[in-house]
Amino acid sequence: MREIVRTNDPVVISAIEALLKGARIKHLVADQNMSVLEGSIGIFPRRILVDDDEVEAARRLLAEAGFGKELRRDVG
């Protein structure tokens, strides 16, 4: 899996998750339970990971939906 988004914004995470689910793109939101360690103040970003074979489709979908600025630089 590859990271495509890293953010602290729960609204962005929710919207991106909905888009990926709607497109049936396999993904995982990592670090969701970090709030236990941080005291629920939102300092640790959550990461959205996508299967390697669906990274390009996911990046294209998010860019077309207006989330291009949220995408991590593609390094691999």
With H, G, I as helix, E, B as strand and everything else as coil, classify residue 39: coil
**pLDDT for the residue numbered 44:** 80
Local structure of residue 65 (DSSP, 8 states): T
**CATH code, domain carrying 35:** 3.30.70.790
Q: How sure is the predictor about 69, in pLDDT bands with cuts at 50, 70 and 90?
A: very high
| Residues comprising the chain, all counted | 76
Quote the CA–CA distance of 8 and 38 in Å, as a whole number: 12
**pLDDT for the residue numbered 73:** 83
Is 17 domain-assigned?
yes
Is 12 domain-assigned?
yes
Is 75 domain-assigned?
no
Q: pLDDT of 12-55, one tens digit each?
A: 999 999 999 999 999 999 987 665 555 555 568 899 999 999 99
User: Which position has the token pair 């990592």?
Assistant: 30
Provide the domain count of the chain.
1
The range of the structural domain enclosing residue 9 comes to 2-70
Is 59 domain-assigned?
yes
